[in-house]
Chain A
Amino acid sequence: MDWLTTVDHKKIAVLYLLGGTLFFGIGGIEAIIIRLQLIKPMNDLVSAQTFNELITMHGTTMIFLGVMPIIFALMNALIPLQIGARDVAFPFLNSLGFWTFLFGGLLLNLSWFMGGAPDAGWTAYTPLSGTKFSTTHGVDFYTVGLQLAGLGTLIGGINFLATIITMRAPGMSFMRMPMFTWTTFITSAMILFAFPAITVGLVLLTFDRILGANFFDVAGGGNPILWQHIFWIFGHPEVYVLILPAFGIISEVIPTFARKRLFGYSSMVFATILIAFLGFMVWAHHMFTTGLGPVANALFSISTMLIAVPTGIKIFNWMFTMWGGQVRFTSANLFAVGFIPTFTMGGITGVMLASAPADFQFHDTYFVVAHFHYVIVGGLVFGLFAGLHFWWPKMFGRMLNETIGKWTFWTFAIGFHMTFFVQHFLGLLGMQRRVFTYLPNQGFDTMNLVSTLGAILMGIGVMLFLFNAFHSFTKPKGVANDPWEDGRTLEWSIPSPPPEYNFKQIPLVRGLDAFWKEKMAGHQEMTPAEPVGSIHMPSPTILPFVMSVGIFIAGLGLMFSGEQFSNSFMSFIFNNWIVCGLGLLITFGSMVLRSLFDDHGWHIELEELEEEGV
């Protein structure tokens, strides 16, 4: 119950972590089944239809329901701590964002049990995703489920933007913010300007499918390429929404374990901003083969290649940070250092794909699959593992076991390269993506076998991490404030896990790497910026949960509004929009309640703070 009503950013972080891990697991199982199907030529483990559902759900689940929430978990756990704040700007919205994400994800996955999952690829290209080719409710689950999950992400983005703008501790100027806070800030801005586009796209597709609109239906005057533009004008920024937080994590982990400040801090900041800006200009590099014409292709090709410049700056800065440092290879740092070559390889294949004439060869082959897995898994997932190993003691007050951590790294990293390195060559040989099987003796057999074995090894790596996580909870709490002893930023100046109010006194920030600076000056803790006083806290509330349940019901009602049921009662309530209306009523009702009854919060009084003797 406590967990359903919490508005504490640290607890919401744990919820995001659990939710994200759940869906990451589901997506992982889907991946293993896909790889098992492709282990040998002419395999018949799953049918072609099931295969299409598996690849669609794997991509969608991993991106929207797996890695995004785990990124949000780390952001929620750390951003207020890193900027010296007691909370986020909108605790209520924070909880609402989590619940809409969770119910969106559940809705999407219900499709497995309610007549078929979406089967048009994670990009849902029209007309494949129209009612003509996708006859089950699968794509409806996709449009409605993603709409909900996307809403949660948008809410989270606005929340982080406002938090970082207004809640920084005294002395923390923008150019003193930790890199992870910076990348969160830029990521949130990208979310704000990218997600509304997919919101509209999903609405249009829903209208086409449910209300008989003609946006993408050529017979009615519609334009299927329009979907691709809308999808990618969101979709390309989205891939940077994924990778920028990983950049931030790496920029925290490497300096800590090299005992050196980050090389080229300000160039890192500007490179991040530049990447975000260029990220919005390049969407049509996913559409070279749709016939945009040579001029458009050339422009999008060049703007895409430009992104390699700021990205290169980052890579070199990380290497210069390690140069001459006293590098400690903890498991967190192994993942951070391992990130550099894997991500770089993904970047290089990216530049290859950005050359429009070459892309006519690579497009829709396993080369593209290899490219984006090198950046998303070799980049983002490595980054997330680095971040989780690094901040685990701060989040939970317990260390992860280093030996298991190192095993996690080696199995995962080796499995990763086995799985995806060979896919470059499969692509160059002409193996198409999204085909459910292939003929023998075309030179695909051995490499597919290696790829599948690698995937299983990666799976073992993930299991090791999960085991490590559970194992840590069998140990008592009691980690020091600064367990790595080389912590640089504010979160390491307070207890692990932090108390409900984070900072008993808001700290005074006197430079970049605020905590490190104080330690170098011989101080044990931060200088406070205010006297000890009573602390105002927001009250817990069930409303965000109820609101999300409401939208969930409305979504189901919308999807089945045109369905022929054998049961007359079901037909009555669904076909007359009663279910949909009821759901909306619950949601809007809760909004009205929220608006009518002010939440004044509560206070932690001075005496309680003294008693705890922190």
Chain B
Amino acid sequence: MASAHTEVDGKLPNEPEKATLEGRNKILGFWLFLGGEAVLFGTLFATFLTLRNQTNEGPTANELFSLPLTAMATMLLLVSSLTSVFAIQAMHRHNLPSLIRWLFITVLLGLVFLGLEIYEFAEYMIKDDFGMSTSAFSSAFYTLVGFHGAHVAFGVVWIGILIGQLYRKGLTVVTAPKIYVSAIYWHFIDVVWVFIFTVVYLLGKVG
């Protein structure tokens, strides 16, 4: 096993995230974990699809949703996936400042996305009187979209901490796998959001 203290001094391998057994294990374990996450969201989607027309005389999807708002949120999240790709590319070039910069932008986009979501939820709850217990549709909506939101929030805090680590420890074979794994996570939440946008919002408007 390579020692854990290799610094960015030319000795760092091209793909530092895969340089140690720990690193490779971490990446493999994380992919497996995402397999489980896929089932988790799959079940939430199935629940939502079952209950999406059970509005219990409360507001319907068509009355609530505003596509421009969610389309904007979607754009933000898609761009943040792109910036996290740039971050990984910077890591492979061993360019620490650029890596940190791209991660920072990613986190920022995630935060704006969260802000939009909170604004959206608040609007529904206050203006439209649409809360968790309004209908089966509302329960399924808040749970599915809220779970995704919680994942985004977790990712923002996580990547934030990683940026802190990069400042303190630099790019090493220990920090690299963490960055890499967080990037996979970020893409995963992005993909889930694309499904949410389609199944919840688009289908809610037209179906």
Contact = CB atoms under 8 A, between A and B. Distances in A.
Interface of A: 89-90, 93, 154, 158-159, 161-162, 165-166, 192-197, 199-201, 203-204, 207-208, 211-215, 217, 220-223, 226, 230, 233, 536, 592, 595-596, 598, 600
Contacts of B198: none
Nearest to A191: B36
Nearest to B24: A166
B43 A200 contact: yes
Nearest to A212: B133
29 contacts: A89-B25, A159-B29, A166-B24, A194-B39, A196-B39, A196-B40, A197-B40, A200-B44, A204-B139, A212-B132, A213-B132, A213-B133, A214-B54, A214-B56, A214-B134, A215-B51, A215-B143, A220-B136, A221-B56, A221-B137, A222-B136, A223-B136, A226-B50, A230-B47, A233-B43, A595-B162, A598-B169, A598-B174, A600-B4
B177 to A, nearest CB: 12
Contacts of A154: 36
Interface in B1-16: 1, 4
A544 to B, nearest CB: 16
Interface of B: 1, 4, 21, 24-25, 28-29, 32-33, 35-37, 39-40, 43-44, 47, 50-51, 54-56, 132-140, 143, 161-162, 164-165, 169, 174, 178
Given A595-B161, A598-B4, A600-B4, A204 B47 contact: yes
Contacts of B178: 595
Nearest to A90: B29
Contacts of A194: 39
A215 B139 contact: yes
Contacts of B138: 214
B35 A193 contact: yes
Contact of A162 (B25, B36, B50, B143): B25
B43 A230 contact: yes
A214 B136 contact: yes
A161 B143 CA distance: 30
Contacts of A197: 39-40, 43
B36 A203 contact: no
Contacts, number: 117
A200 B132 CA distance: 16
A166 B25 contact: yes
Majority SS at the chain B contact face:
helix
Nearest to B44: A200
Contact of A592 (B4, B140, B161): B161
Contacts of B135: 214, 220-221
Contacts of A203: 143
Contacts of B132: 207, 211-213
A166 B1 contact: no
Which 6 residue pairs spanning A and B have beta carbons closest together?
A221-B54, A221-B136, A213-B139, A212-B133, A196-B40, A221-B56
Contacts of B4: 598, 600
B143 A158 contact: no
Which residue, B40, B132, B136, has most C-beta atoms of chain A within 10 A?
B136
A204 B144 CA distance: 10
B32 A226 contact: no
A158 B36 contact: yes
Given A203-B143, A536-B1, A221 B50 contact: no
A201 B40 CA distance: 10
Contact of A192 (B1, B32, B55, B56): B32
Contacts of A192: 32, 35-36, 39
Given A89-B28, A196-B40, 18 more contacts: A158-B33, A162-B25, A166-B28, A196-B36, A204-B47, A204-B143, A207-B143, A212-B132, A213-B132, A213-B133, A214-B138, A215-B47, A215-B139, A221-B56, A221-B135, A222-B136, A222-B139, A223-B51
A90 B28 CA distance: 11
B43 A201 contact: yes
A201 B36 CA distance: 14
A418 B18 CA distance: 57
Contacts of B56: 214, 220-221
A199 B1 CA distance: 37
B170 to A, nearest CB: 12
A199 to B, nearest CB: 6
A214 B1 contact: no
A272 to B, nearest CB: 19
Contacts of A226: 47, 50-51
A82 B168 CA distance: 41
Given A214-B135, A230-B43, A195 B28 contact: no
A203 B29 CA distance: 24
Given A196-B43, A207-B143, A214-B139, A158 B37 contact: no
Nearest to A201: B43
B136 A162 contact: no
A193 B43 CA distance: 11
Contacts of A600: 4
A476 B84 CA distance: 59
A213 B143 CA distance: 9
A536 B4 CA distance: 12
Nearest to A213: B139
